[in-house]
Amino acid sequence: MTVQAPKNSFKSRLLAGEVQLGLWMSLGSAAAAEALSLVGYDWLLFDMEHAPVDPPQMQPLLQAAAAGVSQAVARPPWNDPVLIKRTLDVGAQTLLVPFVQSAEEAAAAVRAAKYPPQGIRGVAGLTRASRYGLAPDYFATANAQTCVLVQIETPAALSRIEEIALTPGVDGVFIGPSDLGASMGHLGRPGTAEVQDAIRGAADTLRDLQKPAGILAVSAEDAERYLDWGYSFVAIGIDMSLLLRAAKARLDHFTDAMPGNTPG
């Protein structure tokens, strides 16, 4: 049997300019990853920055997602070569690197994600990434199949969006509305007009640069607006909030209907 190195269809579709709809995964649950990967989202974002997930917990999430149709995107907790290497070793092929503030930091993220000569990623032969060493074409294809997305979260980074986006090896730029809003003085209010104007401006710049733009939308209305503005890889919801909303609506349906209860 010939084992082939994994292909990254998220990256090929991203570079072809296709719109890809994602779901932000914060539960850290392999069952949720498997089930939601069967629903049909193009990609699932597994968060290590704000979810209780480290590289050892990431591997079962990626294995579970592989049972379905969604491509996995992993967000390491920081732009750190060790964390990036370990996230790639367990099989992530697409990284969303948080808090990239400059072209230098974008270049460091790319270097951490690529094997020499393009980068400094350490070599391990028997990881899940290389199909446990069974894929003879792994090292020849790994750098090209690795996708680096960088996250812009502050006005300082926005002011350097062109140089960050054009850094060799950066495949796409992702805007974090919550952190951008917070750093603009609107903590917890990413819907503020000033923040939304900045998000729209970023989309315009990235379109001019022909660089794929991504974002997280917490509501369907936000997602529709971001897609209209040209964002192409959009997380259109968060697993935890979908769960809570459905659970609350179900409870409300029954408690509101109980004798003696008034709706609201």
Binding site for ligand LXDSK4UY (CB under 6 A): 24, 26, 50, 153, 176-179, 216, 238
The distance of closest approach from Cβ of residue 106 to ligand LXDSK4UY in the complex, given in angstroms and rounded to an integer, is: 17
The distance of closest approach from Cβ of residue 6 to ligand LXDSK4UY in the complex, given in angstroms and rounded to an integer, is: 26
The distance of closest approach from Cβ of residue 92 to ligand LXDSK4UY in the complex, given in angstroms and rounded to an integer, is: 17
**How many Cβ atoms from other residues are within 10 Å of residue 197's Cβ?**
10
User: Containing H/E element for 44?
Assistant: strand 43-47
Given 7, 50, 245, 248, the catalytic residue:
50
Cα gap 13→100, rounded to integer Å: 23
State which residue, 22 or 176, has the beta carbon closest to ligand LXDSK4UY.
176
Distances (CA, A) of 43 to 1, 26, 159, 256: 29, 14, 29, 37
State which residue, 50 or 250, has the beta carbon closest to ligand LXDSK4UY.
50
State which residue, 128 or 189, has the beta carbon closest to ligand LXDSK4UY.
189
Query: Count of alpha carbons within 13 Å of 107, Cβ hemisphere only?
Result: 8
Q: What phi and psi values does residue 20 have, to the nearest 5 degrees? A: -130, 125
The distance of closest approach from Cβ of residue 199 to ligand LXDSK4UY in the complex, given in angstroms and rounded to an integer, is: 10
Active site residue 50: yes
The distance of closest approach from Cβ of residue 196 to ligand LXDSK4UY in the complex, given in angstroms and rounded to an integer, is: 13
Distances (CA, A) of 142 to 23, 71, 113, 257: 25, 16, 10, 57
- Burial pattern 72-89, b for ≥16 Cβ within 10 A else e, equals bbbbbbebebebbbbbbb
Residue 53 tokens, joined: 């997930």
Cα gap 200→231, rounded to integer Å: 9
The distance of closest approach from Cβ of residue 119 to ligand LXDSK4UY in the complex, given in angstroms and rounded to an integer, is: 24
User: Containing H/E element for 174?
Assistant: strand 172-175
State which residue, 74 or 129, has the beta carbon closest to ligand LXDSK4UY.
74
Nearest-CB residue for ligand LXDSK4UY: 176
Cα gap 29→159, rounded to integer Å: 37
136 prior amide bond cis, ω within 30: no
Give the residue numbers annotated as catalytic, written as ranges: 50
